[in-house]
Amino acid sequence: MEATVKTLYHDWINVSKLSAISADLGSIIAGNITLGTLGFIKSKGKDSYADTDAGFWLGYDTDAYKVNIGNATNFLKWDGTNLNLSGILSASEIHIPNETAAESFHVNVNGDMWLGCNVADFNTDPNNAVAYILKTGEARFQSVVLENDVVVRDLQAGSSIHGNSG
Protein backbone atom coordinates (compact mmCIF):
# COMPACT_ATOMS: atom_id res chain seq x y z
CA MET A 1 0.00 0.00 0.00
CA GLU A 2 1.34 3.45 -0.94
CA ALA A 3 0.17 6.78 0.35
CA THR A 4 1.01 10.34 -0.62
CA VAL A 5 1.26 12.71 2.32
CA LYS A 6 2.10 16.42 2.12
CA THR A 7 3.02 16.66 5.80
CA LEU A 8 4.50 13.82 7.81
CA TYR A 9 4.92 14.10 11.56
CA HIS A 10 7.59 12.18 13.46
CA ASP A 11 5.07 10.54 15.79
CA TRP A 12 3.30 9.00 12.78
CA ILE A 13 6.39 6.91 11.87
CA ASN A 14 6.47 3.40 13.30
CA VAL A 15 9.02 1.23 11.47
CA SER A 16 11.81 -1.04 12.69
CA LYS A 17 14.33 0.39 10.18
CA LEU A 18 14.52 3.89 8.74
CA SER A 19 15.56 2.26 5.45
CA ALA A 20 11.93 1.19 5.15
CA ILE A 21 11.11 4.82 4.40
CA SER A 22 11.65 6.02 0.84
CA ALA A 23 11.19 9.73 0.25
CA ASP A 24 12.56 12.77 -1.51
CA LEU A 25 13.77 14.62 1.56
CA GLY A 26 14.60 17.87 -0.24
CA SER A 27 17.26 19.78 1.68
CA ILE A 28 18.90 18.12 4.64
CA ILE A 29 20.33 20.44 7.26
CA ALA A 30 22.45 18.80 9.93
CA GLY A 31 25.19 19.89 12.29
CA ASN A 32 27.24 16.72 11.84
CA ILE A 33 27.22 13.61 9.72
CA THR A 34 29.32 10.68 10.94
CA LEU A 35 29.81 7.68 8.67
CA GLY A 36 30.66 4.28 10.07
CA THR A 37 32.51 1.60 8.11
CA LEU A 38 29.31 0.59 6.34
CA GLY A 39 28.18 4.09 5.38
CA PHE A 40 28.78 6.25 2.33
CA ILE A 41 27.57 9.38 0.59
CA LYS A 42 27.30 9.21 -3.19
CA SER A 43 25.78 10.75 -6.26
CA LYS A 44 23.25 8.84 -8.32
CA GLY A 45 24.98 6.29 -10.56
CA LYS A 46 28.32 6.17 -8.71
CA ASP A 47 27.81 3.14 -6.49
CA SER A 48 31.29 2.43 -5.09
CA TYR A 49 34.80 3.82 -4.70
CA ALA A 50 35.92 1.82 -7.77
CA ASP A 51 33.01 3.01 -9.94
CA THR A 52 34.28 4.94 -12.99
CA ASP A 53 30.93 6.57 -13.80
CA ALA A 54 30.76 10.35 -13.43
CA GLY A 55 29.86 11.54 -9.94
CA PHE A 56 31.16 11.33 -6.39
CA TRP A 57 31.50 8.66 -3.71
CA LEU A 58 32.69 9.20 -0.11
CA GLY A 59 32.83 6.43 2.46
CA TYR A 60 34.61 3.38 3.82
CA ASP A 61 35.83 0.82 1.28
CA THR A 62 37.69 -2.42 2.16
CA ASP A 63 40.35 -1.02 4.49
CA ALA A 64 40.08 2.78 4.66
CA TYR A 65 37.88 5.81 4.22
CA LYS A 66 38.10 6.88 0.58
CA VAL A 67 36.88 9.55 -1.85
CA ASN A 68 36.33 9.31 -5.62
CA ILE A 69 35.18 12.40 -7.53
CA GLY A 70 34.97 12.34 -11.32
CA ASN A 71 34.87 9.70 -14.04
CA ALA A 72 37.24 7.14 -15.61
CA THR A 73 39.63 9.73 -17.10
CA ASN A 74 39.21 12.90 -15.04
CA PHE A 75 39.17 12.31 -11.30
CA LEU A 76 40.37 13.18 -7.83
CA LYS A 77 40.77 10.08 -5.66
CA TRP A 78 41.90 9.58 -2.07
CA ASP A 79 42.54 5.89 -1.37
CA GLY A 80 43.21 6.32 2.34
CA THR A 81 46.93 6.87 1.73
CA ASN A 82 47.48 8.59 -1.61
CA LEU A 83 45.79 11.49 -3.37
CA ASN A 84 45.60 10.89 -7.14
CA LEU A 85 44.57 13.39 -9.78
CA SER A 86 43.94 12.65 -13.46
CA GLY A 87 42.97 15.38 -15.88
CA ILE A 88 43.91 19.03 -16.22
CA LEU A 89 45.14 20.83 -13.12
CA SER A 90 44.56 24.57 -13.17
CA ALA A 91 46.35 26.44 -10.41
CA SER A 92 47.52 30.01 -10.00
CA GLU A 93 50.69 28.84 -8.20
CA ILE A 94 52.35 25.56 -7.23
CA HIS A 95 54.68 25.20 -4.23
CA ILE A 96 55.95 21.72 -3.36
CA PRO A 97 56.23 21.08 -0.43
CA ASN A 98 55.45 24.70 0.56
CA GLU A 99 56.50 28.35 0.01
CA THR A 100 59.21 28.40 2.68
CA ALA A 101 61.23 25.21 2.10
CA ALA A 102 64.57 25.59 0.33
CA GLU A 103 64.41 22.02 -1.04
CA SER A 104 61.41 22.74 -3.21
CA PHE A 105 59.75 23.17 -6.60
CA HIS A 106 57.77 26.27 -7.53
CA VAL A 107 55.74 27.82 -10.32
CA ASN A 108 54.41 31.31 -9.66
CA VAL A 109 51.41 33.11 -11.10
CA ASN A 110 53.73 34.88 -13.59
CA GLY A 111 54.85 31.57 -15.13
CA ASP A 112 58.36 31.51 -13.63
CA MET A 113 59.59 28.06 -12.47
CA TRP A 114 62.42 27.41 -10.04
CA LEU A 115 64.02 24.76 -7.86
CA GLY A 116 66.06 24.86 -4.69
CA CYS A 117 65.08 28.03 -2.88
CA ASN A 118 62.02 29.43 -1.18
CA VAL A 119 59.66 32.05 -2.59
CA ALA A 120 61.05 34.99 -0.60
CA ASP A 121 64.64 34.27 -1.64
CA PHE A 122 63.65 33.84 -5.31
CA ASN A 123 61.68 37.10 -5.26
CA THR A 124 64.77 38.85 -3.83
CA ASP A 125 67.02 37.43 -6.57
CA PRO A 126 66.29 34.55 -8.96
CA ASN A 127 69.99 33.60 -8.76
CA ASN A 128 69.29 32.31 -5.23
CA ALA A 129 67.64 29.29 -6.89
CA VAL A 130 69.64 26.19 -7.86
CA ALA A 131 67.86 26.34 -11.23
CA TYR A 132 65.19 28.44 -12.87
CA ILE A 133 63.35 29.04 -16.12
CA LEU A 134 61.66 32.41 -16.38
CA LYS A 135 58.62 33.21 -18.51
CA THR A 136 60.94 35.27 -20.71
CA GLY A 137 62.84 32.10 -21.68
CA GLU A 138 65.87 32.99 -19.59
CA ALA A 139 67.18 29.92 -17.79
CA ARG A 140 69.94 29.19 -15.31
CA PHE A 141 71.23 25.88 -13.99
CA GLN A 142 74.13 25.58 -11.55
CA SER A 143 75.32 22.36 -13.14
CA VAL A 144 74.34 20.76 -16.45
CA VAL A 145 75.70 17.68 -18.17
CA LEU A 146 74.85 17.27 -21.86
CA GLU A 147 75.85 14.04 -23.57
CA ASN A 148 75.50 12.40 -26.95
CA ASP A 149 74.50 14.37 -30.03
CA VAL A 150 74.20 17.81 -28.41
CA VAL A 151 73.35 20.53 -30.92
CA VAL A 152 73.68 24.23 -30.16
CA ARG A 153 72.05 26.54 -32.71
CA ASP A 154 71.85 30.24 -33.34
CA LEU A 155 74.48 31.52 -30.91
CA GLN A 156 74.25 35.29 -30.72
CA ALA A 157 77.23 37.52 -31.26
CA GLY A 158 79.27 37.67 -28.07
CA SER A 159 78.11 34.21 -26.91
CA SER A 160 80.72 31.74 -25.77
CA ILE A 161 80.94 28.14 -24.69
CA HIS A 162 83.39 27.30 -21.93
CA GLY A 163 84.55 23.91 -20.78
CA ASN A 164 87.00 21.10 -21.14
CA SER A 165 87.58 19.59 -24.53
CA GLY A 166 88.74 16.24 -23.27
* pTM greater than 0.85 (yes/no): no
Q: Are 139 and 132 in contact (CB under 8 A)?
A: yes
**What is the rounded distance in angstroms from the CA atom of residue 113 to the CA atom of residue 129?**
10
136-155: pLDDT as tens digits: 999 999 888 888 888 888 88
Handedness of CA 50, 56, 27, 23 (dihedral sign): negative
pLDDT tens per residue, range 10-43: 677 777 766 666 667 677 777 788 888 888 999 9
Q: What percent of the chain has pLDDT over 90?
A: 61
pLDDT digits (tens, 9 = 90+) for 48-66: 999 999 999 999 999 999 9
pLDDT at 85: 95
Confidence class of residue 8 from pLDDT cuts 50, 70 and 90? Answer: low
pLDDT at 125 over 60: yes
Residues paired with residue 125 on neighbouring β-strands, in sequence order: none
